[in-house]
Chain A
Amino acid sequence: MKTMETTHTELVESWVNEHSDYLYSFAMTKLSDKNLALDLIQDTFVAAFQGVDKFEGRSTAKTWLTSILKRKIIDHWRKETAHKTDVASHFFAPGEDGGGGAWVMENAPSQRISSIEEEISKEEQIQELSECIEILPDNWKGIVLAKYMEGKKGDEICMEYAIMNSNYWVIVHRAKVVLRDCLEKKWF
């Protein structure tokens, strides 16, 4: 008869083989850093096996692992938000009242990226946009992909990321300013 330990060991192997590609693809829609993604996936498997008694067939292994990974990613975002750097800060000069001001000249939208439509194929444009998305901070990337790629509603995203609706719009705005500028600098 197999001991509990050998069973676990075999299970680790088979779960990693079956599910790690999916978990990795999932993590990379929410994070930019591959090593961080691998660390969180490792934490996910460890947490899964430590709590394996709670699992026992209540859902598929894939669903269960994904829900654990999701929580790990959210914990990471919350830590990151605490000391975030605003990658959009060099786009707008500070206003007189301490709020936002006018465009900083060298990063202002002086060209229209929409005018490139004919010159570069759509596939190539989307490819270049995917590259630009990698420069966004992790939680911005996650929010942008959840909104556009996954088509999630704002309310749902706010809940998942534990952010206020006003903050959600600021992130969407800043992310799009950064992405638009990234494409303008690639194309003009």
Chain B
Amino acid sequence: MKMESCTDITLLIEKSKGKKLNWRERWQIKMHTKMCRFCENYNIDSKYLDGLLKRITPRSLHLTQEEKMRLTANVKERLN
């Protein structure tokens, strides 16, 4: 069986979170990460990164008064 590349394996690792992989794909990940330290690290970190990403919260941003005035002026000018 052909050995899958690191690009393919790490992509499969991501896909495994959205859909059920077939036995062949799961086996490929297992065999590859046994032999490849980088992909093994990626596999572990990928889950960790998901946890961090889920905790990002929307930031409430503000424009300065000057930016708002410029925005108002530009909009008015374009409407004329």
Answer yes or no: are A and B bound together in one complex.
yes
* Closest CB in chain A relative to B21 CB, distance in Å: 12
Q: For the complex, give the distance between the alpha carbons of A38 and B75 in Å.
A: 11
Contact across chains for A109 and B45 when beta carbons are under 8 A apart: yes
Contacts A13-B72, A92-B7 given; indicate if A169 touches B18 (C-beta within 8 A).
Answer: yes
Total A-B residue contacts, Cβ distance less than 8 Å: 136
Could you tell me the distance between the alpha carbons of A24 and B58 in the complex, rounded to whole angstroms? 12
Chain B neighbourhood of A162, CB < 8 A: none
The answer to whether A100 touches B62 (Cβ under 8 A) is: no
With a CB–CB cut-off of 8 A, which chain A residues contact B6? Answer: 92, 100-103
Question: Are B14 and A176 in contact (CB-based, < 8 A)?
Answer: yes
Tally of chain B residues near chain A (CB < 8 A): 42
Given known pairs A25-B59, A126-B56, A149-B53, the reply for A17 and B5 (CB within 8 Å) is no
Contact A113 B48 (CB under 8 A): yes
A44 to B14, CA, bound (A): 36
Residues in A neighbouring B57, C-beta threshold 8 A:
149
Residues 109-150 of chain A, each 1 if its beta carbon lies under 8 Å from chain B, else 0: 111111001000010011001100100000000001101110
Residues in chain B near residue A147, CB distance under 8 A: 53
**Contact assessment for B14 and A20 in the assembled complex, using a CB-CB cutoff below 8 Å:** no
CA distance A41 to B75 in the complex (A): 10
B56: chain A residues within 8 A (beta carbon): 126, 129-130, 133, 145, 148-149
Known: A109-B42, A173-B11. 7 other contacts (CB 8 A): A12-B72, A24-B61, A99-B8, A110-B37, A114-B48, A170-B11, A173-B10
